[in-house]
């Protein structure tokens, strides 16, 4: 028999603690994205993010994670995920995915955004917009999902049915459960699969994070043992939010408005948790 994942289901009060972490994280990403301009280094973006967490009394769940040396991942151009902040100075036309996490009172949140520096390339704008919308389609699907696999099916259907240049959905890197640890069961696939995954029930909290590329799906890890790049050098985008399922519906914990502005056009009204 297939092993059933051991899932940590949260109480409403615990979800509210995760919401605190999500709001701090949202402010940190706001600051880092606003600072991402021509001439700033990715190390400086990391410092901007860290200052927001420090002022809020939160800590990073990235820093020190299996030895990771920073509080955010900064993945530029062909870097897909897990890019390490450093001396690289952003240039006009760069596309950068900033992925961060926060811990408040032992509870975690995880979120990522893509932004374009300076003068954007049309294909990069589309890449980021489609990746973001794919994430929201997956989140919207969670509202009525029977199984976790319904999320990946919704993402896959949206991306594959778009007219124009076909974008690739990475399959080697997926979303995950989140709570008292950053990475928990279950895996959240970003593509349609015969494996339906565990049933969706109140208390389930997930990090939903599609990663799309302009070219092929093959990737490799650089010598720093972290940074994942496309082998063909094509550009990538990552978007992510932490989402909770509860008795009243779903709530995007790492979005300031709980996801309302993006979900309501898709027919889903996010519902805050009441303690």
Which CATH number does 12-266 carry? 3.90.230.10
Helix ranges restricted to H, the chain: 12-35, 42-56, 122-143, 149-160, 260-263
- Let me know the angle formed at the C-alpha of 14 by 9 and 18, rounded to the nearest 5 degrees: 100
Residues of the chain with pLDDT under 50: 1-2
Q: Write down the pLDDT at residue 195.
A: 87
Residue set of the binding site for a divalent metal cation = 99, 110, 176, 209, 240
∠ Cα 27 30 31 (to 5°): 90
Q: What is the pLDDT of residue 142?
A: 98
How many angstroms separate the Cα of 211 from the Cα of each of 6, 29, 81, 141?
25, 18, 8, 17
Give the residue ranges of the annotated binding site.
Answer: 82, 99, 110, 176, 183, 209, 240
Residue ranges per structural domain of the chain:
12-266
CA-wise closest residue to 76 among 40, 22, 129, 52: 40
Annotated binding-site members for substrate = 82, 183
The pLDDT value recorded for residue 275 is: 75
Give the sheet arrangement for strand 211-213, strand by strand. 168-169, 211-213, 236-238
Cis peptide before 109 (omega within 30 of 0): no
CA distance 117 to 271: 34
């Amino acid at each position: 028999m297939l092993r059933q994942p051991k899932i940590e289901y949260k109480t409403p009060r615990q979800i509210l603690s995760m919401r605190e972490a999500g709001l701090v994280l949202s402010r940190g990403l706001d600051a880092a994205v606003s600072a991402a301009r021509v001439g700033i280094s990715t190390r400086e973006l990391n410092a901007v993010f860290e200052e927001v967490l420090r002022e809020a009394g939160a800590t990073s769940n990235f820093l020190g994670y299996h030895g990771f040396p920073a509080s955010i991942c900064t993945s530029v151009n062909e870097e897909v995920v897990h890019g390490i902040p450093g001396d690289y100075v952003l240039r006009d036309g760069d596309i950068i995915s900033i992925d961060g996490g926060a811990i408040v009172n032992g509870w975690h949140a995880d979120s990522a955004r893509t932004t374009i520096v300076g003068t954007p390339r049309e294909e990069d704008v589309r890449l980021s917009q489609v990746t973001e919308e794919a994430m929201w389609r997956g989140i919207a699907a969670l509202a009525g999902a029977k199984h976790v696999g319904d999320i990946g099916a919704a993402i896959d259907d949206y991306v594959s049915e778009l007219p124009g240049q076909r974008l690739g959905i990475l399959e080697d890197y997926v979303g995950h459960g989140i709570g008292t640890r950053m990475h928990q069961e279950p895996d959240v696939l970003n593509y349609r699969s015969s494996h339906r995954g565990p049933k969706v029930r109140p208390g389930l909290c997930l990090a939903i994070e599609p990663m799309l590329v302009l070219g092929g799906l093959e990737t490799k890890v650089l010598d720093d043992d972290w940074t994942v790049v496309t082998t063909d050098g094509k550009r990538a985008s990552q978007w992510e939010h932490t989402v909770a399922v509860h008795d009243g519906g779903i709530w995007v914990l790492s979005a300031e408005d709980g996801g309302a502005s993006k979900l309501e056009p898709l027919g889903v009204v996010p519902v805050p948790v009441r303690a």
